[in-house]
Chain A
Amino acid sequence: MGNFSKHMDDFNMSTSKSDQRPLSPHLSVYKWQLHAITSILTRITGNALIVGVILFIGWLLAAATSESHYQIVNGIISSWLGKLVLIGSLWALWYHSLAGIRHLIWDHAVWLDINKSRLLGWFVVFGSFALTFVTILFV
């Protein structure tokens, strides 16, 4: 096993740009499906959330430091751009959470058939907007 993976590394290392051969088209020819879109959105929202995380930690550190620091950061998050980023992060958080629950359900080998998983998919999409709306109202 160890020798095999070392060999794979050499193979990748030796592939120069001129050697790379064309792939058959996929995104440009295949019809868009719910499962494909929900899947990539799960990845995108999960990783984009790091922006919101860094913003929150910056806010937390400012609160811990001094009043003047806090005013600066508070000003940033209260601006229209800051609010936009926060609301976007909130939606991404709900979307990623619901999509994660969908995966946790699948992990139990249930609702994997096309109709049930499609239904779950629509729950994730609509649920994320609904929950974002509800959170903004109450929070």
Chain B
Amino acid sequence: MAFNIIKTGTPHHKAMKFSSMVLVLMIPVFLLTIAPLMGEQREFVLSKLEQPLYALIVAVTFTVGLLHFKSGVQVLIEDYVHGKMTKVWINVTIALSYTLIGLTLFALFKIMI
């Protein structure tokens, strides 16, 4: 059944492995630098996120993370949804993932400029 949808198995697995390894590094960095900003004053938050390093941490973590999510949810959908709806739901989650990546990058640009 999987052949019909992704038409690939090995590249999917490789993508998951690679994104996992990137995230193992990025998540602690994110938790140490960005997570503490939640709940703080806006000026303080902006002063940090304006800096390229902070913006880059958010950008990389969320881009790689959301692509990891996209591939992971695909497996979930294939397991529980059968027939024509499989492709529909996978396309929905692909759209959602890329939209969220776009929103993250948009917000970061807006803060930097």
| Size range of the chain B interface in the assembly | 35 or more
Contacts of A93 in B (CB 8 A): 27
Residues of B within 8 A of A (CB): 1, 3-4, 17, 20-21, 23-24, 27, 31-32, 35-36, 38-39, 42, 45-46, 49, 58, 62, 65-66, 69, 72-73, 76, 82-84, 100, 103-104, 106-108, 110-111
Report how far A43 CA is from B46 CA in the complex, Å.
34
* Residue pair B3, A104 in contact (C-beta under 8 Å): no
Report how far A49 CA is from B72 CA in the complex, Å.
12
* Residue pair B72, A60 in contact (C-beta under 8 Å): no
| Size range of the chain A interface in the assembly | 35 or more
Report how far A135 CA is from B31 CA in the complex, Å.
8
* Residue pair B100, A53 in contact (C-beta under 8 Å): yes
* Residue pair B4, A104 in contact (C-beta under 8 Å): no
Once A53-B66, A54-B100, A104-B21 are accepted as A-B contacts, the answer to whether A8 and B1 lie under 8 Å apart by CB is yes
Given known contacts A67-B42, A97-B23, what 16 new A-B pairs fall within 8 Å (CB)?
A5-B1, A12-B83, A13-B84, A43-B76, A46-B72, A54-B100, A56-B62, A57-B62, A57-B103, A60-B49, A63-B45, A63-B111, A77-B38, A93-B27, A97-B27, A100-B23
